[in-house]
Amino acid sequence: MRKVAERLLIEMEESAAFMDGFDGAIIGIGRQHTKQALVVYDRGKCIDILTGQGMTYEEAEEYFSFNCECAWVGESTPMIVTTEVYDGSDVSDDVPDEGDTQGHQGDAGPVHGLPRQEDS
């Protein structure tokens, strides 16, 4: 996927930073209006890459969180997305119910802007 991302960036006449060792976690190129293009990584795939190198899940989470998610290399810093969707299996009192939109704006879903179940 890195070669595809590099080709897209060339076609877009853009440049962006890549994270070394995580080519298998690239899911595309992202951009916000008026901002430069960024390489987009799937966080779960990044963790899988680290566990595949011998780290425990906890070690991979800690390493990735501290060394990758917190890294800033300027405006071209890669974007990391979480693709796992909360399934509601361990609902706690501090998570709003599906119909509860208090504190949320617009059409955003009830938790962290995820789409509502009926929107999926």
10-residue stretch averages of pLDDT, the chain, 120 residues long = 90 91 95 90 96 96 94 91 74 55 43 43
Residues 115 and 109 sit within 8 Å (Cβ to Cβ) = yes
Is residue 104 one of the residues assigned to a domain?
no
pLDDT of residue 91: 54
pLDDT of residue 97: 54
Is residue 21 one of the residues assigned to a domain?
yes
What is the DSSP code (8-state) at residue 24?
G
pTM recorded for the entire structure:
0.68
Number of folded domains that form the chain: 1
pLDDT of residue 104: 42
Provide the domain limits for residue 42: 2-81
Is residue 88 one of the residues assigned to a domain?
no
pLDDT of residue 27: 94
